[in-house]
Amino acid sequence: MADMNSAPTQATRRPRAVKTKAARAPVAAYGTADGVLSFRHGLTCRERGTVDRALAIVGRCMAGGRTALATPGAVKQYLQLQLAGEPHEVFGVLFLDVQTRFIAFEKMFNGTLTETSVYPRQVVLAALAHHASAVVLAHNHPSGKAHPSRADEMLTQTLKNTLNLIDVRVLDHVIVTPGETLSMAERGMI
């Protein structure tokens, strides 16, 4: 029999956690690249995680009706936080209730560096699922230029006409870059 005061044997020792190179490597926040165009460039992995947790808290608070996006500037800042760091085009929708209060924000479609395929049917289904009365469309331009393309204008008109059939208003289409945002409504394009 083994002495109770003796050191534990190999079989009874707890294995040590092994830190691999992959475990120490920084992980980009929600798929965001750490490139120089990213507003997260230069942040540590821990800081990027903190930003992600903060965005999740903001989303929960807004969905609970405790916080409102009361001004167009606040909407643009929120969307810039959500989309500006993405390395490829992402199309998202901000869903609002009948009193234009925040319901949810969804990143609905991912694309390439220069374009994203957007399916109006999916936007309609999401609006119905959220019981939305209005939406703000948004997508990013990783190139850094916030100018809307002709395709952006046509997509906005298509979604506006489609969502109008189910009594959902399109209030704006915001184009986001790491350095600026452009509101199509403020430019009189909606």
Range 62-76 average pLDDT = 71
User: What token pair was written down for 35?
Assistant: 């490139």
DSSP of 38-103, one letter per residue? STTTT--HHHHHHHHHHHHHHHHHHHTTSS---SHHHHHHHHHHHHTT-SS-EEEEEEE-TT--EE
Gap between the Cα atoms of 26 and 95, Å rounded = 32
Looking at per-residue confidence, does 98 or 4 come out higher? 98
Angle of the 72-83 helix axis to the 45-63 helix axis, nearest 10? 140
* Per-residue pLDDT band at 49 (split at 50, 70, 90): confident
Residue 48: inside a domain? yes
Range 96-102 average pLDDT = 90
Residue 109: inside a domain? yes
Gap between the Cα atoms of 51 and 57, Å rounded = 10
Residues 1-42: pLDDT tens digits?
Answer: 445 454 555 545 544 444 443 333 333 334 444 444 445 556
Gap between the Cα atoms of 105 and 59, Å rounded = 8
pTM (global) more than 0.75: no
Residues 125-134: pLDDT tens digits?
Answer: 999 999 999 9
Give the total number of structural domains in the chain. Answer: 1
Residue 164: inside a domain? yes
Residue 12: inside a domain? no
What pLDDT is recorded for position 2? 47
* Per-residue pLDDT band at 136 (split at 50, 70, 90): very high
Residue 122: inside a domain? yes
Range 151-179 average pLDDT = 96
| In contact, 83 and 140? CB cutoff 8 Å | yes
What pLDDT is recorded for position 44? 78
What pLDDT is recorded for position 144? 86
Burial grade of 159 (CB within 10 A; 0-12, 13-18, 19 or more): buried
What pLDDT is recorded for position 124? 98
| In contact, 62 and 68? CB cutoff 8 Å | yes
Residue 21: inside a domain? no
CA proximity to 102, closest of 88, 87, 82: 82
pLDDT reading at 189 higher than 80: yes
| For the chain, percent of residues with pLDDT exceeding 90 | 48
**Residue 40 is part of which domain span?**
28-183
Bridge partners of 107, per DSSP, are 92
What pLDDT is recorded for position 161? 98
Residue 13: inside a domain? no
Range 109-114 average pLDDT = 90
Domain CATH number, residue 77: 3.40.140.10
Residue 18: inside a domain? no
Alpha carbon of residue 29 to chain centroid: 11
Three-class SS state of 153 = helix
* Per-residue pLDDT band at 59 (split at 50, 70, 90): low
